[in-house]
Amino acid sequence: MKIGIIGGGAVGLLFSSYLSEKFDVTLLVRRNEQMTLVNRSGVTLRRSNRSITSYLNGEILSGKMTAYDLIIIAVKEYDLESVLTILRETDKRVPLLFLQNGIGHLSRVNTLPHLNLLAGSVEHGALKENDHSVIHLGIGKTNLAVIRGELNSAEELLIQKIDYFPFILQDNYEVMMLKKLFVNVLVNPLTAIVGVKNGRLPANPHFLHIQNNLFEELLILFPQMKNHIHFQEIMDICLGTSENRSSMLKDIEEKRKTEIETILGSLLLKAEKDNHFVPIMNTLYELVKGIEREGQGG
């Protein structure tokens, strides 16, 4: 199976490395420098004390993509719009798998004419070292669910077992995405603000109190999730990824744009529309936006 992976960040490099063990993978990136490095040196994956280099194709992302059996979109949500424009020019029969955080992008994804649209929820920890190297910090799984149509060729991700990189099929994509959203909301903004690893949140009673309040605010917005996720599940994830630095914390440290609009901004709009009071969410949003602005020179 021929797979195109759009995005040369941590997730794109991670997926490229593992999937190239079983499939013909092309990494589609925006910069010539990254394309050249990938084609010359491959993609290097570091896990524990091991280092593995996979040799695959690197190409510049454009509207004239070679025919693929599956396209995986691994860019951040705020970079998605230009990618959607390119995807509209691709073969409508090719399944598209989206790996973005949050839920705000799903309405735009649904405007695509493709027959088979899929969502993915990534539970791995990954850190991009450079344009062709990634560290696999935490081994998890990738949940898959159908947004529209069928799995089609993406079913091969479930059939072809890859060590340390499992795929699990979920029945309901909305529940799957909301579960990931709950985790992102309770972990990312708080770690970014206080500058701690994931494991410090449940270990500190003051951080834990904020997380508990956040969880209750989320249930106000999404009461249908009461029977699908519990607070302790998220605490277990924090403990299981205790040494991980969240993606939002890494963005703050590197003075990059964060995904705060994707993770909290869209929820604040929903809260305003539905006339709900979510003070903890609002405070965390303003703090992250303020820190982000200071880091970018203001």
The catalytic residue positions are 180
SS3 53: strand
Q: What is the rounded CA–CA span in Å between residue 138 and residue 135?
A: 9
By CB atoms closer than 10 A (0-12, 13-18, 19+), residue 137 is middle
Alpha carbon distance 29, 8 (integer Å): 6
Give every CB contact of residue 286 below 8 A, 6+ residues apart in sequence: none
Q: What is the DSSP letter of 192?
A: H
Q: Quote the CA–CA distance of 216 and 33 in Å, as a whole number.
A: 46
Copy the structure tokens of residue 77.
């949500």
Residue 95 · residue 71 · CB < 8 Å:
yes
What gap in Å lies between CA 12 and CA 155, rounded to an integer?
Answer: 19
